[in-house]
């Protein structure tokens, strides 16, 4: 008598019938890096712009995609006050400091609130990833919005993300959201390149170190979730001033101590990806 085939469990049937979603790279780019925090006000956009400029300094062709639809910061930080050109089908990124840039802020008035529901946000993100003529980029840096909502899901499920960097201050209230962000990326199968402790400390006029937001929280969180800790970035008034003036610190002052930190970080990121 022929042997009976073993009965499949419900779990095995589900696994065999499940198709993995197709994730597409952003055309015109080699590697996509998401900059996330899951928490607002921790310097994520400032980090994204300066990392992009630092990657340029280590020999890469770089673009920035401002995915924060409700609160775009890239136009101000990069000093861009113009609208992108279009051929009727695709938008041309705006080039500033040899960085290709795209943001919803280029298409709307700076003081116009984006009162959009989720599907409209998703549509805008798909436009920026599918209908922008990015040209021969080694890296595209994606400045993610706070939280774990529609934008993060759209990118994680539809776009090939080569790595995410998570930014936080060391205080516990910020790290609560960061931990949610780590779990989200893990569940969605996005590799986390590491965590960065931003606004980590302040050096006073007396040359003493002041840990304004606490100490060591980001490093402990990285260890807790078995992620790499990429380093600390201290508080410097120069960082905020240069960003407000539309010329981030890495571009404005190549010899500044913060610039050196960002260039070291860019070198780490480049090696991790490539």
Average pLDDT over residues 96-108: 93
Is 64 within the bounds of a domain?
A: yes
- Name the band, by pLDDT with cuts 50, 70 and 90, for residue 112: low
**Percent above pLDDT 70 for the chain:** 86
Of 213 and 27, the structure prediction assigns the larger pLDDT to: 27
The pLDDT score that the predictor gives to residue 170 is 85
The pLDDT score that the predictor gives to residue 96 is 97
Is 146 within the bounds of a domain?
A: yes
Separation CA 205–CA 220 (nearest Å) = 29
Q: How many domains does the chain have?
A: 1
Q: Are 194 and 226 in contact (CB under 8 A)?
A: no
Q: Are 194 and 165 in contact (CB under 8 A)?
A: yes
pTM for the full predicted model: 0.86
Give the torsion sign (CA, 258, 262, 268, 269): positive
CATH number, residue 83: 3.40.50.300
pLDDT beyond 60 at 115: yes
| Average pLDDT along the chain | 86
Is 13 within the bounds of a domain?
A: no
Half-sphere exposure of 177 (CA within 13 A, CB side): 20
Is 160 within the bounds of a domain?
A: yes
Residue span of the structural domain in which 107 resides: 23-273
Radius of gyration of the chain (CA): 20
Strands (DSSP E) found in 46-191: 62-66, 94-96, 99-103, 137-143, 163-168
**pLDDT tens digits, 49-92:** 999 999 999 999 999 999 888 889 999 999 999 999 998 889 99
Is 18 within the bounds of a domain?
A: no
């Amino acid at each position: 008598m022929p042997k009976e085939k073993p009965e499949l469990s419900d779990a095995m049937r589900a696994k065999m019938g499940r198709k993995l979603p197709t994730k597409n790279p952003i055309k015109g780019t080699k590697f996509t890096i998401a900059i996330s925090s899951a928490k607002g006000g921790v310097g994520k956009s400032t980090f994204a712009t300066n990392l992009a400029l630092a990657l340029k300094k280590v020999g890469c062709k770089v673009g920035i995609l401002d995915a924060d639809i409700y609160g775009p910061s890239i136009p101000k930080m990069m000093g861009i006050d113009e609208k992108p050109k279009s051929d009727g089908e695709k938008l041309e990124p705006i080039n500033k400091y040899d960085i290709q840039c795209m943001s919803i802020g280029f298409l709307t008035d700076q003081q116009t609130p984006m009162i959009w529901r989720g599907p409209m946000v998703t549509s805008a993100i798909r436009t920026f990833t599918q209908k922008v003529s990015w040209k021969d980029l080694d890296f595209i840096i994606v400045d993610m919005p706070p939280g774990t909502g529609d934008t993060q899901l759209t990118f994680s499920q539809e776009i090939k993300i080569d790595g995410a960097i998570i930014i936080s201050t060391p205080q516990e209230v910020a790290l609560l959201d960061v931990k949610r962000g780590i779990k989200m990326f893990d569940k969605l199968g996005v590799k986390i390149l590491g965590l960065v402790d931003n606004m980590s400390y302040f050096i006073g006029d007396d040359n003493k170190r002041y840990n304004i937001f606490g100490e060591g929280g980001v490093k402990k969180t990285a260890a807790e979730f078995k992620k790499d800790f990429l380093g600390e970035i201290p508080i410097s008034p120069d960082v905020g001033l240069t960003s407000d003036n539309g010329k981030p610190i890495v571009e404005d002052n190549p010899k500044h101590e913060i610039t050196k930190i960002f260039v070291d970080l860019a070198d780490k990121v480049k090696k991790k990806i490539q």
